Structure 1
């Protein structure tokens, strides 16, 4: 008969999970197999101390009468014990054999322990040449030994036996023991992987526990643990802690998890069953766009920050930013975060519009509400122009000051100044603004303006204005100057006058004398100097714009009657010489850049009482124009005349 030493034979229903540690059952002598007729003492202990109170003993399913912590047995069977402070011990099979040769194994034996095998004859002095076998094969170095040691045994189905020569007076015979299955008690049960959740939410923490219990009979054994997902080791590998904290679980972390527990000596290792963990993803919700500066009110040149956030959402979230009307997105970012931002550097006027953002974590994009962004443009340096009714500003004229900034967001407030004294202001929703001023002698000087739309004021260049006399004096001055001219040209040659007449006629036909207008003024207006031009501190920066051209002296046509003479002198052109306009009158003598040059045409005067002469000459008027028109050479007047 085979001797079976079972690791764990429990009476059904006797042991309950989660109760006190198992009791420990010891044998004395410490052999699980002995000869019939001998006695074996069984001792029940709890946590390395003798059992307190009553002890229950079982052989198989039968309850024994003794309640002491020690009993003596003489019959084969599976024995268990239980105390008031412990659960049932592992079953121990004790065999009482009637054979002459037996193989004994020490007890107790745990996984990873060394076990002693002893080949014993009933009258052992006659047993010689002992040999040990495992699964039918002789163990190395096991010949003629009373006992051998097996290192780090495990719970397997290996069977052992031994042989010996039995010496007698007449003959020698070979004896074979029965097979022995070594009872190896479990050092710790197969671990179980516990998870804080089998369906964790993406982004949440997870705790993995490799759960097992070391035998109380082996309190000095140390275990270490390791955790795995599929074939990948998690964390730092082996650790003395049976727990592993995972800060955040993500969709890609879904899969098969398991753990291992082993002794630090690597003698015993056990792995848990595999557990499936599925990480659930939370769709994004409540997408919100925030713009800095707050409210989306920006000044051209500033940086803009677009912040897109979601109230909920797990895993990798793809954020994108958009402006209505734009084909492509402004930017995209994918990250494990509930918030992302995009910076737009140096915004321009074209960046104004309605903005929104979108967030997506595989379930589909969710859009935010739209926010309007306005870009205000600071005003540029304004241009000041002065507009007078005539070529020369005189007392009594109505002067218009016009200030306009080429760029700037409306509304713009314009301020007008005369010698840094405020004249007035005007607000313009678009374009420039004007201010009218009735001139007095005190209004000569420098004028300027500034423009401000709340983003910083800009000042124009200064423009100088000279106000002279009155509108009545303008005619008297001109007449006096013309009289002087008539006296100085009486002796000029007729041939030169004729040539000048042809030149004047040609220029009148081609429009060369009138480049900017056809306004007509009295003879006294011709000699008024043009409006004073402001000084220029930077020769490359223009001070005057289009209104300065309006202030140049225009072509003048006026008649002068020298008195009782029969001639009329018609002034063709009166212009002030400067370097800028000298090219417009190339035939004029340019002795001084500031001279006034005047052209006069001589016209014979027709008397009212000469009607007969008119009738006789009517048919020949066009045949001899030189009889009526005679050019007088141009002369120059100093500007201070």
Structure 2
């Protein structure tokens, strides 16, 4: 019978600082009982080994993030005479604290609005209670360009937006004295321009239109956010409509069947925020093409 006298070696895993905030260095210490020296030390996070030196009982995680939160443990070896014994610590929970919540960008009154409307962009976040007295800096961006950099004010105001102000916006937040910065998800702003008065033209413009001729009526608004819905009228009665997406003219082709096809033709352009009507154009079956001069 062989009697083995073994010292009660066990491992204790500690982390510093406590609490640990994102951006700080997270230090893990694997200590044996009575500060017993260990070899082949391995640190684990959620059961997976970390890439730390096996010859040291300390592991450093530079610039901790929330993703470094998890269950940590360590394993080490100690020799007694000619035997190697392996010990494993109990798992501890490490929660990396956020300095501030990820920002969210909102648009007031709405991300979709008409030209000349006021717009306020608001970057919302909340600092950790232990960092509530620290200053936050806000930056606003559009399509990769900086609109406002490192301001203490979480809002950016545009008195009168134009169609060119449409695009993807986001904000970034940084905490005083820290390198950590966070970006909001992008927010699409759509500024709708009202339609201009459309121009109505008839083709062919040659004289001598008669029954059996094919006529094409074209309607186009030079300005206005798509999609634009064009409607065609003869003497106030609707003939048809056409939706244009890219600013092209809307066509309406028809065959002159009788003198009832003569009269005043108009068109109307309409988008999400406005509508406008063309001046009437008179089609005569006697071969004349007569734009009206009123309006």
2:131 maps to 1:218: yes
Q: Residue 164 of structure 2 aligns to a residue in which SS?
A: helix
User: How many residues matched?
Assistant: 195
Q: Which residue of 2 aligns with 1:193?
A: 105
CA offset digits 1:226-264 (Å, max 9, x no partner): 2233x3224133433321122321123223332222335
Closer, same or farther: CA 105–111 of 1 in aligned 2, 3 Å: same
1:152/1:267 contact within 8 Å kept: no
Number of the residue aligned with 2:43:
133
For residues 55 and 136 of structure 2, the distance between their equivalents in structure 1, rounded to whole angstroms, comes to 37
Structure 1 residues 217 and 266: CA distance shift in structure 2, 3 A: closer
Q: Give the alignment's TM-score, normalised by structure 2.
A: 0.53
Are residue 104 (structure 1) and residue 17 (structure 2) matched?
no
How many Å separate the matches in 1 of 2:131 and 2:26?
A: 15
Shift of 1:208: 0.6
Kept after mapping to 2: 8 A contact 1:224/1:264: yes
Partner of 2:287: none
In the TM superposition, 1:393-408 aligns within 5 A as none
Secondary structure of the residue aligned to 1:104 is strand
Runs of 5+ consecutive residues of structure 2 not aligned to the other structure: 1-8, 198-222, 226-270, 280-292
**Secondary structure at 2:67's aligned position in 1?**
coil
Residue 147 of structure 2 aligns to a residue whose secondary structure is: coil
Residue 101 of structure 1 deviates from its aligned partner by 1.6
Higher relative contact order, structure no. (Cα contacts within 8 Å, ≥ 6 residues apart): 2
Deviation of 1:160 (Å): 4.5
Equivalent residue for 1:208, pick from 117, 121, 143: 121
SS in 2 for 1:103: strand
CA RMSD in angstroms, aligned pairs only? 3.8
Q: Tell me which residue corresponds to 1:528.
A: none
Residue 261 of structure 1 corresponds to 173
Q: Distance in 1 between matches of 2:122 and 2:51?
A: 44
1:284 is displaced (CA, Å) by 6.4
Matches of 2:126 and 2:96, distance apart in 1:
17
Contact 1:209 1:244 in 2 (8 A): yes
Deviation, 1:203, is 1.4
1:130 to 1:241, Cα distance in 2 relative to 1, 3 A: farther
Structure 1, unaligned runs of 5 or more: 1-98, 286-312, 316-360, 371-641
Residue 119 of structure 1 contacts residue 130 of structure 1 at CA under 8 Å; is this kept in 2?
no
* Alpha carbons 1:111, 1:154 under 8 Å: kept: yes
Q: Is the 8 A contact 1:132 1:143 kept in 2?
A: no
Correspondences of 1:574-593 after superposition (within 5 Å): none
Question: Which one has the bigger strand percentage?
Answer: 2
Q: Aligned partners of 2:184 and 2:124: how far apart in 1? A: 9
Deviation of 1:156 (Å): 1.0
Q: Distance in 1 between matches of 2:42 and 2:94?
A: 14
Paired residue for 1:277? Answer: 189
State the 1:179 CA deviation.
5.3
Q: Deviations over 1:519-549 (max 9, x none)?
A: xxxxxxxxxxxxxxxxxxxxxxxxxxxxxxx
Cα distance in 1 between the residues matched to 2:10 and 2:51: 21
- Residue 179 of structure 2 aligns to a residue in which SS? coil
Structure 1 Cα separation of the partners of residues 168 and 103 of structure 2: 16
Match of 1:10 in 2: none
Change over 3 Å in CA distance of 1:365–1:253 after alignment to 2 = farther
Deviations 1:94-150 (A, max 9, x none): xxxxx92232223211211222312123x233342373536424325x7334x4543
Q: What is the alpha-carbon distance in structure 2 between the residues aligned to residue 210 and residue 249 of structure 1?
A: 19
What does residue range 527-606 of structure 1 map to in structure 2 within 5 Å? none
Shift of 1:222: 3.8
How far residue 272 of structure 1 moved from its aligned partner, in angstroms, is 2.0
